[in-house]
Structure formats: structure tokens, C-alpha cells
């Protein structure tokens, strides 16, 4: 693992532990308000935990800024953000009102995905590890899509609060995200140094065509995993509009991405890739890739 990966893991773990300690402190000492209903008590606890999470993040980032050089600091604050985010998601899902359980799952899933992308990259391609490996700034469209999904969630939560309590639907989304996450990380680890977040335009000397393991079942398992993971995030939130929009947008993105990537793969591997194409599907619905 790259040194940056170790720094990120330590920061992520420390952030999670600090958040856990803060949550316990709030539950034991800063929750003296007597209320008539358990639901109101949980809501007050959520407010305390949310404020404390932002304060913890701000203080941690400030201390890190004083302790680390610029390059290390950029890794540390992102890892702190995701570590606190994951701990925050777990806390909401387990300790707060049942109305916010699906939101807790969503925050947990999002935080883990982005941090695990960085960690796995630090293992399989340490020479290419960078701040972009977190995929937090994947693209402007990715950020806009996330923002729209949050707007839909809170709008529907405000107008139809009971609509977000369809736990069996949220559980389906959670399982879809977990399956997609496992599939994507399995693909990354199987391809190892042959994997890259960017489409390569030049074949590296050690670049090999991987057709074993999960790649014997589909040609683009990492894309398949990400495709279903993205849809699962909206099913967790019970966002009907974004669930449909994410399905269409993700399909369109991967349709173009697979086509573009297979042009380069055919250039790199020639007949070997043609033979591979004829035996193994892309794994994505109604996406066939580039055929010569």
C-alpha cells in the first residue's frame, strides 16, 4: 500500500473513533432534555449529533492543517470527512429516529464507496494514486446528480414523511449497493495493476488482458457494479424520480464509456480481445460495446 493510502486509512479510522466517542458523550451527558415522546427525543439527539459532527470535522481539519504539509493535508481532510461521514451514517441508522434510518444507510454507503476507491487504488496502482482516486470530484454531472437526489429526498420527506419509511424498499436498495460494491472491488482487485479509473490511450508494457475470475462472467464488472450501486443509492432513499433518472443517466454514461474503452482495448489486444468479446458479454443491460 502506498504511504498516502496508509495516511488515509489512519485518518479515516481516527475520525470514526472520535465520532463514536463524541456520540457516546452526547448520549450520556448532553441529552438532559426531558420529553414526552420517544420520537421527539430521537430528533433532539439527531440535532446534537449532526452539529457535533460538523464541529468535529472543522476542528479535525484545522488541527490537520497545522500538522501536515499541503499534499498530505489534502488526503487527510478528505479521509476525515469520509470517516466522520461513515460513523455519522451508522449513528443515524442505529441510534436515531426510524424515520432517518434509510438516510443513515445512504450516508454510510456513499462514504464507504469513495474511501474504498482510494484505498484499493493505493494497493493495486500506487504509482497512479492521487486526490482524484477518491472520486469525490468525479465530474460536474456526478455532483449535480447527487445534489438533485438530496433535494428530492428532503422535499418528499417534508411533504410525505411516511413515504420514506418503506423499509423493505430501502433494504432492497441497500442490498443492491452492497452487491454492486462487492462486484466493483472484486473486479479492481482481480485486474490489479491492469485497472485504472481513466481510459488509457497508450498501452503500458505490463498491461495484460484479464479474462479470468469475475472477468470470465462479464467484460466490464467494475462498471456493472457501479451501475447497480448508483441505482441502489436512490432506492435506499426511496427517491422514485431519481431512481428512474439515475438508471437512464448511468446507462447512457456507461454505454458511451464502454464503447470508447473497447476501441482502445481492440487497438491494444487485437484478435485476443475480439475472441474475448465473442465469448463474454459486457454485463450491462442492452450494452454490447464496440464491434469491429
Judge residue 257's burial from the number of C-beta atoms within 10 Å of its C-beta, 0-12 exposed, 13-18 middle, 19 or more buried: middle
Question: Mean pLDDT for the chain?
Answer: 91
Residue closest to 237 by CA, chosen among 57, 119, 107, 134: 107
Which tens digit of pLDDT belongs to each residue from 233-247?
999 999 999 999 999
Spatial separation of the C-alpha atoms in residues 150 and 237, rounded to whole Å = 9
Percent with pLDDT over 70 in the chain: 93
Residues 49, 26: contact at Cβ < 8 Å? yes
Q: Whole-prediction pTM value?
A: 0.93
| Residue range(s) in the chain whose domain bears CATH number 1.20.120.1630 | 138-291
For the cut 50, the answer to whether the pLDDT of residue 148 exceeds it is yes
Q: Which residues contact 165 (CB under 8 A, 6 or more apart)?
A: 98, 99
Q: Sorting pLDDT into bands at 50, 70 and 90, what band is 163?
A: confident
Q: Sorting pLDDT into bands at 50, 70 and 90, what band is 35?
A: very low
pLDDT on residue 94 = 86
- The topology (CATH level 3) of 138-291 is 1.20.120
Residue closest to 153 by CA, chosen among 264, 73, 52, 235: 235
pLDDT on residue 261 = 96
Which tens digit of pLDDT belongs to each residue from 261-292?
999 999 999 999 999 999 999 999 999 999 86
For the cut 60, the answer to whether the pLDDT of residue 214 exceeds it is yes
Spatial separation of the C-alpha atoms in residues 56 and 70, rounded to whole Å = 20
Q: Cell 428532503 belongs to which residue?
A: 154
Amino acid at each position: 500500500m502506498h504511504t498516502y493510502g496508509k495516511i488515509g486509512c489512519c485518518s479515516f479510522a481516527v475520525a470514526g473513533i472520535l465520532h463514536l466517542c463524541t456520540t457516546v458523550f452526547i448520549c450520556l451527558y448532553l441529552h438532559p432534555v426531558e420529553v414526552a415522546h420517544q420520537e421527539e427525543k430521537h430528533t433532539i439527539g439527531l440535532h446534537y449529533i449532526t452539529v457535533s459532527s460538523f464541529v468535529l470535522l472543522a476542528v479535525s481539519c484545522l488541527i490537520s492543517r497545522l500538522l501536515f504539509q499541503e499534499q498530505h493535508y489534502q488526503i487527510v481532510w478528505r479521509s476525515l470527512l469520509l470517516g466522520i461521514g461513515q460513523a455519522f451514517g451508522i449513528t443515524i441508522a442505529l441510534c436515531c429516529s426510524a424515520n432517518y434510518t434509510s438516510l443513515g444507510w445512504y450516508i454510510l454507503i456513499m462514504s464507504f464507496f469513495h474511501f474504498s476507491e482510494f484505498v484499493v487504488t493505493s494497493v493495486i496502482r500506487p504509482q497512479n494514486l492521487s486526490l482524484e482516486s477518491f472520486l469525490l470530484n468525479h465530474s460536474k454531472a456526478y455532483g449535480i446528480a447527487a445534489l438533485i437526489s438530496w433535494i428530492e429526498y428532503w422535499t418528499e420527506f417534508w411533504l410525505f414523511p411516511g413515504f420514506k419509511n418503506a423499509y423493505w424498499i430501502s433494504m432492497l436498495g441497500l442490498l443492491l449497493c452492497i452487491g454492486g460494491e462487492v462486484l466493483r472491488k472484486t473486479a479492481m482487485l482481480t485486474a490489479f495493476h491492469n485497472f485504472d479509473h481513466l481510459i488509457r490511450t497508450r498501452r503500458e508494457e505490463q498491461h495484460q488482458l484479464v479474462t479470468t475470475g469475475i472477468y470470465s462472467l462479464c467484460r466490464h464488472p467494475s462498471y456493472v457494479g457501479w451501475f447497480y450501486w448508483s441505482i441502489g443509492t436512490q432506492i435506499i432513499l426511496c427517491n422514485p424520480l431519481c431512481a428512474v433518472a439515475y438508471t437512464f443517466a448511468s446507462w447512457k454514461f456507461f454505454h458511451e464509456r464502454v464503447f470508447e474503452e473497447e476501441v482502445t482495448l481492440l487497438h491494444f489486444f487485437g484478435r485476443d480481445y475480439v475472441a474475448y468479446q465473442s465469448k463474454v458479454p459486457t454485463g450491462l443491460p442492452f450494452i454490447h460495446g464496440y464491434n469491429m
